[in-house]
Amino acid sequence: MFPIPENTDFLLADAEKENLYLSLIEQINKDFNLANEGIDFPLSISPEELKIQLHEKIYRMIQYKFAEYLNLLYIIDVPENEIKSLDGSDLVVLAEQVAFLVLKREWQKVWFRNFYK
């Protein structure tokens, strides 16, 4: 069944191993654009760079566009209980944890779509 990744690095490694990394990037771009948060990761972006840029984008959204950030989480369908369980005392750490939850949910969508096609 669906392999639940422990962290961002394992998630991205799994996506590459299963040849679904490009689909993951496409899904991220699609959902961010649905939330009117234009983001256009090139398909050639490395996993490490994707991780960094996604973290930075979410950090900026939390800090400057909180309503848009909440809308993004709703559109991506990040579980509310997982967001509520995070410690928001350090904004940088919070943004990193949210970036992982976003990646995890996007990976779930891509993996299930591929598994059940």
pLDDT means per 10 residues in the chain (117 residues)? 85 93 96 92 95 96 96 96 93 97 96 91
* pLDDT given for residue 36 in this prediction: 92
- Tell me how many helices (H) and strands (E) the chain has: 6, 0
Cα 4 to Cα 108: distance, rounded to the nearest angstrom: 9
Collapsing DSSP states into helix, strand and coil, what is residue 23? helix
Q: Look at the pTM and tell me if it is higher than 0.85.
A: yes
SS3 27: helix
